[in-house]
Chains A and B, each alone.
Chain A
């Protein structure tokens, strides 16, 4: 995901703000990392450049 996507993303469950942690970034794209909700503390992984923001019960 591109960094500027952070401007519009929020927690899909409680709509809280997210904190981005980057593990791997290539050519201005975040490949691996995570998004943590500052309100409900849910953590959404970013893998292969795609944030997984499915509700927790639907995530693998």
Chain B
């Protein structure tokens, strides 16, 4: 089953996170923006309320939570209720696809990556932003998993696990950047974005079809 329930029931809690963690969000946005190709033909898979898609100029999004989609639509996103494992798009349509803090909520990561691969044009990019399971924030999220209505249902992945599944779906040439070098509560300014992975808790992978 798609994990939509907490997102349908806790819209304000979801939105509050972005207000409370303003600089965490800004840092993640900066890291993702740096990996996006200069194209306006992109799709966000797991667009939520459009928090990332809107500032990044992404015009199309899918999300299984109808409550989230309603907000994204008001923000000007062409939104469709759909799951990552069954995308409603023809083959080879997009220059890039973005998934931010989405892979931890999909039921079948292999099917999700296969579908992303299918809808990308040849040499298109899949950009994934996620909290590394083997990072300080990743470990903290797992320790306190049960306390969060959202992370209770999440499956966290290491960078190696994500790359393994991307390769399985056919992706090649991976580029890594990272941010979030402190505990979230300590972050009072925009964090830097560094090449590679293994230090920052939030990792962005750009994979090529």
Q: Which residues of A contact B (CB under 8 A)?
A: 1-2, 5, 8-13, 15, 44, 48-55, 58, 60
Least CB distance from B109 to A in Å reads 17
CB neighbors of A among B52-90 (8 A): 60, 62, 64, 66, 69-70, 73, 78-83, 86-90
Chain B residues with CB below 8 A from A51, complex form: 80-81, 88
Asked if A12 and B90 sit within 8 Å, CB to CB, the answer is no
Bound form: Cα–Cα A1–B78 in Å = 6
Knowing A49-B73, A50-B69, A50-B73, the reply to whether A13 touches B78 (Cβ < 8 A) is: no
Closest chain-B Cβ to A29's Cβ sits at a distance in Å of 9
Check A11/B88 contact, CB under 8 A, given A58-B1, A58-B2: yes
In the complex, are the beta carbons of B81 and A54 less than 8 A apart?
yes
Q: Which A residue sits closest to B62, measured CB to CB?
A: A53
- Closest chain-B Cβ to A33's Cβ sits at a distance in Å of 13
Count B interface residues, CB 8 Å: 23
Hey, which bits of chain B sit against chain A, CB under 8 A?
1-2, 4, 60, 62, 64, 66, 69-70, 73, 78-83, 86-91, 93
> Which A residues touch B83, using CB under 8 A?
12, 54-55, 58
Q: How far is the CA of A51 from the CA of B81 in the complex (A)?
A: 6
Q: Which of A12, A44, A49, A52 contacts B87 (CB 8 A)?
A: A12
| Chain A residues positioned under 8 Å from B73 (CB to CB) | 48-50
Q: Are B70 and A54 in contact (CB under 8 A)?
A: no
- Chain B residues with CB below 8 A from A58, complex form: 1-2, 4, 64, 83
Question: With the chains together, A60 CA to B4 CA distance in Å?
Answer: 12
Task: Write the chain A residue with the least CB distance to B87.
Answer: A12
Q: How far is the CA of A12 from the CA of B118 in the complex (A)?
A: 12
- Give the CA-CA distance A19 to B49 in the complex, in Å: 28
